[in-house]
Structure formats: C-alpha cells, structure tokens
Structure 1
Amino acid sequence: MGSGDSYDDYPEYRDEFGSVGPLPVTDGQRKPPEEGFFTGPEIGARFPDVRLSRSEGWMLDLHADRGDAQAAVVFFRSAVW
C-alpha cells in the first residue's frame, strides 16, 4: 500500500467476514484454518479448570471464584505478530 491509499483500494486485504488486515488474505499468516482444524471448545462447553496470575499478585481460579455466575472468556490476538 502506498501513502494515502486506503484498504478499500485493496480488496485482497478484506476477508469473507469483512475483516481487514495488514496482509492479503492469501498470505500464509491470514489463511483460514484447514478443514478439521481444532479451534477450541464449542460454545457453551465447560471451560477447562484454569488458575491465572493476576497483576495484583493473587491467583484467580476461574470456576471457584465465580461461583454459579456465568462467565465469558475472550482471547484477543492481533492479526499479525
């Protein structure tokens, strides 16, 4: 991309979901997973037991500390490292 260009000028940067990334969709880092690639537990499945270290210095036990409350766990990763 040149200076002053926008991603609209480069449709190869937009995937089928409308997400735009810094690399063309055909680049190895942006290819969708192959058929049968495990992407994680199904929606609604019990999350594995996990303990996380908090920045305050104490440990968080996901299941024990939330009691009966539901939780949403979100992992965010940039498109390119």
Structure 2
Amino acid sequence: MSEHFDVAVLGMGPGGEVAAGRLLKAGKKVAVIERELIGGECAYWACVPSKTVLRPPEARTEVHRAAGVTGAELDWAETS
C-alpha cells in the first residue's frame, strides 16, 4: 500500500509541531517522522526539565536582590 503526502515534517519538537499544525490547517496531507516522543528534546530532556530544576534557586536569588527586600530573610521551608 502506498500513501502520498504533500509534506513530510522531520522531528516533532516545538518547530515541527507548529509546522505540521499550520500545514494541516492549510489543507495539506502531512507525514510526521519522529523517532522519540512528540514534543522533542526540549520538552522531555533539556529546556523544560532543566528550567524546573534551575529556575527556583534563580528566583530566590533575584528576590534577595530586588529593591525593598535587601537584607530580608524569607523562611523558604514555610513558603515552598
């Protein structure tokens, strides 16, 4: 059995998802080629998980640097 597609999208990371969606809305028949999970490396291994681990300590540091709270100590055990 042979199928014909207008477009093949390689990789379903953030860019591939947007491209495939726009092509489908434009009436194109789209083939998606992905060897891992849809969402790509960013969603599962890199950007999102890294930000989840790294961002809270950065936010805490910025709170201490913010105007009006210099020298203030927050009890993070009670607020988190």
TM-score bucket of the superposed structures, by smaller chain: under 0.3
Q: Which has the higher helix share?
A: 2
Higher relative contact order (CA 8 A, sep 6+): 2
Question: What TM-score do the two structures reach when normalised by structure 2?
Answer: 0.23
Instruction: Name the larger-Rg structure.
Output: 2
Question: What TM-score do the two structures reach when normalised by structure 1?
Answer: 0.23
